[in-house]
Amino acid sequence: MQLPIVAVSMSDSDLEDLELLQSEGGFSSRSEVVRHAIRSLWTEHQNLEELRGEISIVMTVSYVSKGKDAVCNRVQHAYSDLITALMHSHAADGGCVDVLMTKGSAEKVREFVKNLRSQRHVSQIQVTSLGS
């Protein structure tokens, strides 16, 4: 089966990480690493989409080495009614990390996660559902 070829732009450090994941993860190619990452993200997305009703999640948000910017703060403030607890810390690499406990309708919590994930200073979000 012929797979379509997709070009992806990334920083030198992301490329180094990709190649390290390939060699240390036992993947046969960089494409295999990317496919695996997409499947993992897709599973996380589906799990979040399946939640219904009133939910609680813990969201760990990592920001790039320049740290959290004003836009990320505005997104958090726009959804402040969902945030029941927030811990902010500075990481060793100069970035920032937030751990947020959120509670609200599944629809609004998903919207919050998606809006925060789309910000350019956010490098990673991990979501853990605490039930519905």
Measuring CA to CA, which residue among 72, 74, 84 is closest to residue 109?
84
Q: Name beta bridge partners: 87.
A: 99
User: Residue 74 and residue 110: Cα distance in Å, rounded?
Assistant: 17
pLDDT tens-digit map of 3-16: 888 898 988 988 99
Given this model, what pLDDT does residue 96 score? 85
- Confidence tier at 68 by pLDDT (50, 70, 90): low
Is residue 47's pLDDT more than 90?
no
pTM: 0.76
20 φ, ψ (degrees, to nearest 5): -65, -45
